[in-house]
Amino acid sequence: MARGALTVVGTGIRIGVQLTPESRAAVDAADELLYVNAEPLGDHWLASLHPRARSLASLYRPGVSREQVYEAIVEAILEPVRAGARICAAFYGHPGVFVRPSHEAVARARAEGHDARMLPAVSAEDCLFADLGVDPALDGCASYDATGFLARPRPVDTTAALVLWQVAAVLEPHAVAAGSHGGNLDVLAARLLELYSPQHEVVLYEASPFPAAPALVERLPLAALPEARPTPQATLYLPPAGTGAAA
């Protein structure tokens, strides 16, 4: 097998303005750029970064299990690496934050004897801290995948902030079609109501992908969460509950 190279980069959340110079250099040095993007309007920019840029978005299909999609992405990235190419794989946000195929591609490439590395980038949580004015150092901050938070019950320190990712797809085992998100929020709300009061403010947050546009910030009492219709990219933020009861 030829020896190839893989660099995994993140493109940040805001289209066109959060790619670090270090990551840009990695894109330029690659033979091919493969990318997974959240915002279709960002495709044009990503495609313009490299003469050989290819989207892997078609690997996400409604009804296909997440595991199958992730495996297909890893193999699509590794195929040209195994042929000896220098591949740059770009994921939106930070490539190592709530992204399994990026870590798996790096691990598998290394295990097979290729050079592989991941570069840091701007994640949705970084944007949340900036847009909502949250300093995680003040009270602490726990971050979970919303489905994982329900699947593995554990002590929750309600005096710290809580960030729940992939909230619109909570308890959805498959890739879901656009517009069909948010169906299991009642289950998530029931668990959170064991920990917080019904009046506790929660925030559905979506950082804007557009440099000039503000973030979407929907503040609501926890009791109203089951009726909310979060956007597919929303993250749920719960501020600290002051004097919290750990459960």
User: Annotated catalytic residue: which of 3, 54, 61, 66?
Assistant: 66
In whole angstroms, the minimum distance from the beta carbon of 72 to ligand SAM comes to 15
Minimum CB–partner distance for residue 83 and ligand SAM (Å): 27
**Catalytic (active site) residue 66:** yes
Interior angle at CA 206, CA 193 and CA 140, nearest 5: 55
Catalytic: which of 60, 70, 82, 100?
70
Active site residue 60: no
Q: How far is it, in rounded angstroms, from Cα 80 to Cα 4?
A: 8
Smallest CA-to-CA distance from 172 within 39, 37, 65, 69 is with 65
Residue closer to ligand SAM by CB (options 4, 46) is: 46
Which lies closer to ligand SAM via its Cβ, residue 4 or residue 131? 131
Q: What are the tokens at 35?
A: 């990318």
Residues 96-123: b if buried by 16+ CB within 10 A, e if exposed: bbbbebbebbbebbeeeebebebbebbb
- Give the whole-angstrom CA distance, residue 59 versus residue 65: 11
Bridge partners (DSSP) of residue 164 are 144, 236
Smallest gap from Cβ 150 to ligand SAM, in A, equals 15
Q: Which is nearer to ligand SAM, 35 or 91 (CB)?
A: 91
Catalytic residue among 35, 92, 144, 237: 92
Identity of the amino acid at 135: D
Nearer to ligand SAM, 31 or 210 (CB): 210
Nearer to ligand SAM, 157 or 206 (CB): 206
Give the residues lining the site for ligand SAM (CB under 6 A).
13, 38, 91-94, 97-99, 123-124, 165-166, 205-207, 233, 235
The residue sitting closest to ligand SAM, measured at its beta carbon, is 93
86 catalytic? Reply is: no
CB of 204 to ligand SAM, least distance (A): 9
One-letter amino acid at 30 equals: A
- Placement of tokens 């804007």 in the chain: 208
Min CB(235)–ligand SAM separation in Å:
4
78 CB-near residues (< 8 Å, 6+ apart) = 6, 105, 108, 109, 112
Beta bridge partners of 182: none
Query: What residues act catalytically?
Result: 66, 70, 92
